[in-house]
Amino acid sequence: MRTLVILTLLAALVVAATCYESHESMESHEYLNPFLNRRRANDFIQADTRLRAITQERIRERSKAPQEHQRELCEDYYPCEMYAFRHGYAAAYKHYFGRRRTK
C-alpha cells in the first residue's frame, strides 16, 4: 500500500511538472491572437539594400550628365580621344564636335 501511495505521488509530480504552463509562454501575444495586422506585418522585415542600390545604379545609367555623354562620344572617335589625352575631354569635344555646321 505504501508503494502505491509513493507511485501515485510521483505520478502526480510528473504530471504537474510536464503539464505546467509557465508565464513565459503566456507573454507572447500570439497565444491570444496569432495573426498580425497588415501594418505590423512588415515591421520586422528590412528591405534588401542590394536591390535598392542596383535600382539606383540603373536610374543613374539612364540619366547621365551631359559631360558623360560628351566623354563617351569622344572616346568612340580615336582622334578625339588622342586630343583628349593632351588637352582634356572638354577641349577635345569642343574641338571635334563643338563646331557642327548645319546647312
Q: Which residue has the higher pLDDT, 101 or 29?
A: 29
The model's pLDDT over 20-57, given as tens digits with 9 standing for 90+, comes to 666 665 555 556 666 777 767 666 666 677 777 778 87
Q: Please check the confidence at residue 11 and state whether its pLDDT lies above 80.
A: yes
Q: Which of 36, 101, 29, 100 is nearest to 70 (CA)?
A: 100
Per the prediction, the chain carries an average pLDDT of: 78
Q: Please check the confidence at residue 3 and state whether its pLDDT lies above 80.
A: yes
- What are the Cα distances from residue 18, in Å, to 31, 45, 50, 51, 77? 19, 35, 47, 48, 82
* pLDDT at residue 83, rounded to an integer: 93
